[in-house]
Amino acid sequence: MSLKIINKSDLMPFVANMMGEYEVIGPVANDIGFKFATLTDASQVRLNYNTTVIPPRKTLLPTQETLFSFQKDMLAPTFDMKWRVLLGVHTCDLHAMCMLDEAFARGQPDTHYMKRRATTTIVSMECLDTCDENSFCKSMNTLTATSGFDLHLIQLGDFYAVDVGTTAGEALLANHAKSHEATRAEIALLDKTMSQKWSKFPVRLHLDGKDLPALMGVSYKSPLWEEVGKRCFGCGSCNIVCPTCYCFDVRDEVSMDGKSGERYRIWDSCQLDEFARIGSGENFRKTHAHRLRHRFMRKGKYIAEAFPGHQGCVGCGRCARACLVDITPVGVWNSLRQDHA
């Protein structure tokens, strides 16, 4: 829509002003790195941060969420209608959230997700240098973004270029920030910075992300799955930290007298033994190898085919960092590519 400029010295007042009207969630430091959390003071936000342990999808799809409460003769849906600003989202996570939007809007839209998404304004952040030693966003084509955000920040020395993506972003900026239209000199600096950033990101994956569906299609019976499956603990850490995983279990909790209760959903993991077990006791994915293959097929093929234009992996590197036995997408996919070279 337009390109605005915010001086670096005016960014914290912008955040503070937003906090006066919205719940502002952004990256903050903790004992093990960074996490997305509700800000209580503007000074807490860290826009120059390494990838968080848990992705920002938890803002739109909480780890546990009440769907409705019920009594003997009444059912009351529960919706979270709080207005939020999600600040400092890396472009890899932004691509993941766009995929989630598609997944939850298609067919019968997920009302809880869609209502929360409608009340969330996204202010994303351009990465100008690699943020994690395990990331491979360059190969997955998620190193930058042209849509999916309301506002997008690119730091250029003492100021930020702000790409205004929506009318909601335009209003947020107009009402809460001191900004001006970008000058020719500022636009030239932005163009130079963006053209130079690509060389700063290493190529760790030896193929382009768009070629993964074809590779996975010929790799279903690869012996690599048994080999890697022997190392897998089946702990589900990779699912929990993945920005594109969205499977959940639905449970009921009923009072002791049976007169009231609630139905809620909670994150689930396809790497757990009981995930594919049905009522008769049969398990469609009995072994670690079967479950691990399913995860990689989801990330490399199934999601891309189900939601054209989106990918099941955005190259953030979180699962590689979380895995206790060093099973990584880069390692697996590079091995498969070598096998089929």
Percent of the chain with pLDDT over 70: 100
pLDDT tens string 318-337: 999 999 999 999 999 999 99
pLDDT, position 279: 87
Residues in CB range of 81: below 8 A, 6 or more apart = 115, 119
Q: Is the pLDDT of residue 173 over 90?
A: yes
What is the reported pLDDT for 23? 98
The sheet that has 180-181: what strands, in order across it? 33-38, 23-30, 84-90, 120-125, 151-156, 159-164, 2-7, 180-181
Burial-class residue 118 by CB neighbours within 10 Å (0-12, 13-18, 19+).
exposed
| pTM of structure | 0.95
Element (H, E) at 116: helix 111-118
pLDDT of the residue at 59 = 96
Per-residue DSSP letter, 283: B
At 198, the pLDDT band (50, 70, 90 cuts) reads: very high
Rounded to the nearest integer, the mean pLDDT of the chain is 96
Say what the pLDDT of residue 141 is: 96
Query: What contacts 118, CB < 8 A, 6 or more positions away?
Result: none
Q: How confident is the model at residue 341 (pLDDT cuts 50, 70, 90)?
A: low
Percentage of the chain lying above the pLDDT 90 cut: 92
